[in-house]
Structure 1
Amino acid sequence: MLLDDHQRLYLSQLRRKLHALPEPGFLEINTANELYHILKSLNFDLEIGEAVMDTQYMMGRPNDTVLNEHIAFLEQNHFTIEKFKDGLTGIVATKEFEEPGPTLAFRFDIDALPIKESDSNHHQPYKANFISKHEGFMHACGHDAHMTMGIGLAQLINLNHLNKGRIKLIFQPAEEGVRGALSMVKKGVVDDVDHFFATHIGLNGKSNEIITSIEGFMASTKYDLFIYGESSHAGANPQDGSNSILAAATLIQQLYAIQRHEKGDSRINVGKINGGSSRNIIADEVKLEIEVRGMNNEVNQFMNDRVTDIIKGIENMFNVNIVQNKVGEAPSILPSKKLKETVYQLISNVMSELNITKDETTPSGSEDATYFIERVQELGNEGLYLNVGSDHQFNHHHPQFDIVEQDIFNGIDVLYTIAKHFNG
């Protein structure tokens, strides 16, 4: 273990503090302030706001009403909001060393999910009194652990001076819904990066296991669909209306009937529907929240094209107008093979007390760290997505999801070992 008992206690307390105030994407205002002040105390050069985020590419950004309501919640509960009131919650922390060398970047996601956390006596955060204090939101995907790994890595870099190159720690908002990474990529935060690393705790990895490359992330696109019809009295004048609910029902059936593709697995889901006002009024507006996924970018594009075709048909069939707003997207990527082999051999040799697996290719969810890796690879450099294993009784995105805190420290050790290898 590279961390002493005092450091591990501090990081455990930090993880629990972050867990207790989960904030959703582009609203991680208190979270970002906490991270900012810690990183500043560790002597990192910090960039925030529009210096690291291109607002044009912030997908699914909350409107001003939602932003102001969250700020009011923070103020009422005496949380810190000083630097990130605009919702531009990304942070890039950089430390440069004396000798020329490579630039490494490590990405950590910081947002939470709209899930009400369990108050079961079997749920460790409830038993240990660090359950979410933000009603209806929860760190149910391990991002509290990811941020803690980032701070632990920053501590080790600050204490054990490296010799060459640069280290960049990227704290990214709005990973859930794959909404936040593209804005940072478009701002150029990885254009100077030689080796890029992202990581996730849990997934298919077990406690004390490190998987050096996760390769099953699906490409995905998320949409809000707004169906606009014409309201009318359902009994007296039904012929004058255009029924958006009927259009939505037919649209949903057609979406789930999209054929499969020979090039790989695909997914489609309609996760939310809202519309109508009364039983005797033909509904003039419905909102759908949908997503498509593909095992690769070609399959995902096929799914997107079919969705667009179906929308056009529904518009003609029911005399409605459908507005299709993209609110999230992520590509599918492959890891850099040479980097995967280097990291696998390094971790296997240096951290023999852990179980090291080279790769995992089981089809999985989606992850917008792939935008960072895609950009780094476009520029001729390397990227990798690691899995820090951790036993969890309940799956990610479950109200009782939790991880084994000890595995956070394994993750920190792995990331610092990588940093020392390239920049030591």
Structure 2
Amino acid sequence: MNTLENKLVEWRRDFHRYPELGFLEMRTSTLVASELERLGFVIQIGREVMSAEHCLGKPSETETKAHMEWARENGAAEKYLDEVSEGYTGIVATWDTGRPGPTLAYRVDMDALPIYESTEESHVPLRKDFRSVNTEMHACGHDAHTSIGLGLATMIAENAEQLNGKIKLIFQPAEEGARGAISMVRAGVVDDVDYFIATHIGIGVPQNHFVASNNGFLATSKIDVTFKGISSHAGGKPEEGKNAMLAAANAVINLSAVPRHSGGMTRINVGELHAGSGRNVIADEAVLKVETRGETSELNTYMKEYAESVIRGAAQMHQVGCGIELVGEGISAKGSPEVAEPLHECAEKTGLTSQVQSDEAAGSEDATFFMDAVQKQGGYATYCVLGTDLAAGHHNEKFDVNEKSLLQGVETLFKSAVKLTNE
């Protein structure tokens, strides 16, 4: 391996070993910021690049403070820790060549998932001693994305004479649950961007392959629902209770019956239901975690509004209160050929088998907010996928990637920076 490839593997394994959930990426972001500063980038971090009122589903202040102490104890860079201590963990690193040219932005994400990593002996991170030290894990490749972002920064700093204009590297928190991008968009981080490229590893694309524009992402809304009733003795005075659990159960059944739309793909799921405190107590509270999806933003809005109607109807039927909170959101977006085509050519020059576009369904992504913002102001945007061998599917306890993909990703993205800034 060359020096950069070794470094990419080192970074990736370190981030994998110390995963952090959305808006808690304090160790990760401070180490990233320190490396970017060392390379010579201008750093903006925390509230500078995030709109506080647009952070969806942010952890509690207590959880955030506790995690800050964990980050400090586990090697976070003290210089930047105060900047991210309240959970605003986004970073924008800018390289200004001083020469006329466009502004390019590359986005990578940093957060992990609440999944307990496999302890089977065959699991490579366990055998090679970089399995997660936490109850969370990087089960979607964001550790690889963050490392690719740092690798790209390294190549930019070492080869800046090949570039023109400005390059912005966006390290986004809280992609899981589609929560973090909108806050950075609303903070204006892509207001000056002409070309935008988001990157993901895996998603069914095989090793040594590349997709320059993945257009299969569904718009989505993540909803937390709380039903509030009145507790009572289930045997002695059942008529005095207002059963929140019954309202929630009714909602779950009827949410599954929301009519699908003829205009395109639609999805709905209730992933969690929590209720009750004892077998002889009428439940006074119940919580649901719900998500809707649609092939377009309009279709997702149809699903979301129908779902909210069902939820309110269930509450009214059982005479309980209900609260509905939007905790995550992604819109639909289509990649721009003006940036996908050059990216496709760069991937082929890296030695990858590349295709310009894929429309296969691939879940949801809040990078679509960045794409939409750039396109609306006359710029071009795409979401590319770097193929890799996977040990298991995304969001699986045995998830792992082929680390040979890391350098391929860095080289492809750097080639695109050279091409797009010299056209």
User: Could you state the TM-score of these two structures normalised by the residue count of structure 1?
Assistant: 0.96
Query: Partner residue of 1:156?
Result: 155
Aligned ranges 1:183-262 → 2 under 5 Å: 183-262=183-262
Q: Which amino acid aligns with 2:159?
A: N
Cα-to-partner distance string for 1:52-88 (whole Å, 9 max, x where unaligned): 0000000001111111221233344454452321111
Structure 1 residues 303-312 or 73-82, which shifts more? Answer: 73-82
Structure 2 SS opposite 1:46: strand
Aligned ranges 1:397-408 → 2 under 5 Å: 397-408=395-406
Separation in structure 1 between the aligned mates of residue 178 and residue 155 of structure 2, nearest angstrom = 30
Separation in structure 2 between the aligned mates of residue 77 and residue 146 of structure 1, nearest angstrom = 21
Aligned ranges 1:106-125 → 2 under 5 Å: 106-125=106-125
Structure 1 SS opposite 2:100: strand
Query: Partner residue of 2:67?
Result: 70
Separation in structure 1 between the aligned mates of residue 274 and residue 61 of structure 2, nearest angstrom = 21
Separation in structure 1 between the aligned mates of residue 300 and residue 115 of structure 2, nearest angstrom = 27
Could you tell me how far 1:338 is from its partner in structure 2? 2.5
Q: List gaps (5 residues or longer) in structure 2.
A: none
Separation in structure 1 between the aligned mates of residue 390 and residue 75 of structure 2, nearest angstrom = 33
Separation in structure 2 between the aligned mates of residue 381 and residue 77 of structure 1, nearest angstrom = 40
Separation in structure 1 between the aligned mates of residue 295 and residue 87 of structure 2, nearest angstrom = 32
Separation in structure 1 between the aligned mates of residue 75 and residue 151 of structure 2, nearest angstrom = 26
Separation in structure 2 between the aligned mates of residue 221 and residue 151 of structure 1, nearest angstrom = 31
Q: List gaps (5 residues or longer) in structure 1.
A: none
- Whether contact under 8 Å (1:98, 1:163) holds in the other structure is no
Separation in structure 2 between the aligned mates of residue 343 and residue 35 of structure 1, nearest angstrom = 25
Separation in structure 2 between the aligned mates of residue 289 and residue 220 of structure 1, nearest angstrom = 13
- Whether contact under 8 Å (1:112, 1:140) holds in the other structure is yes
Residue 86 (structure 1) aligned with residue 70 (structure 2): no
Correspondence for 2:6 among 4, 9, 12? 9
- Whether contact under 8 Å (1:212, 1:344) holds in the other structure is yes
Query: Partner residue of 1:56?
Result: 53
Separation in structure 1 between the aligned mates of residue 347 and residue 352 of structure 2, nearest angstrom = 9
Could you tell me how far 1:393 is from its partner in structure 2? 3.0
Separation in structure 1 between the aligned mates of residue 136 and residue 245 of structure 2, nearest angstrom = 30
Structure 1 SS opposite 2:102: strand
Separation in structure 1 between the aligned mates of residue 375 and residue 346 of structure 2, nearest angstrom = 21
Residue 46 (structure 1) aligned with residue 43 (structure 2): yes
Query: Partner residue of 1:394?
Result: 392
Separation in structure 2 between the aligned mates of residue 299 and residue 156 of structure 1, nearest angstrom = 41
Query: Partner residue of 1:363?
Result: 361
Could you tell me how far 1:23 is from its partner in structure 2? 0.2
Q: Which amino acid aligns with 2:60?
A: N
Separation in structure 2 between the aligned mates of residue 93 and residue 156 of structure 1, nearest angstrom = 14
Separation in structure 2 between the aligned mates of residue 354 and residue 275 of structure 1, nearest angstrom = 51
Query: Partner residue of 1:409?
Result: 407
Could you tell me how far 1:311 is from its partner in structure 2? 1.8
Could you tell me how far 1:110 is from its partner in structure 2? 0.4
Could you tell me how far 1:47 is from its partner in structure 2? 0.4
User: Could you state the TM-score of these two structures normalised by the residue count of structure 2?
Assistant: 0.96
Separation in structure 2 between the aligned mates of residue 370 and residue 418 of structure 1, nearest angstrom = 20
Q: Which amino acid aligns with 1:293?
A: R
Residue 418 (structure 1) aligned with residue 416 (structure 2): yes
Structure 2 SS opposite 1:99: coil
Residues 241 and 223 of structure 1: is their aligned pair in 2 closer, same or farther, counting only changes over 3 Å? same
Work out the number of aligned pairs and report it: 418
Separation in structure 2 between the aligned mates of residue 414 and residue 272 of structure 1, nearest angstrom = 40
Separation in structure 2 between the aligned mates of residue 96 and residue 130 of structure 1, nearest angstrom = 36
Cα-to-partner distance string for 1:271-294 (whole Å, 9 max, x where unaligned): 111121111110110111111111
Structure 2 SS opposite 1:262: coil
Separation in structure 1 between the aligned mates of residue 183 and residue 365 of structure 2, nearest angstrom = 14
Separation in structure 1 between the aligned mates of residue 115 and residue 345 of structure 2, nearest angstrom = 39
Q: Which amino acid aligns with 1:324?
A: I
Indicate the RMSD between aligned Cα atoms, in angstroms: 1.2
Cα-to-partner distance string for 1:124-145 (whole Å, 9 max, x where unaligned): 11110000012x1000000000
Structure 1 SS opposite 2:247: helix
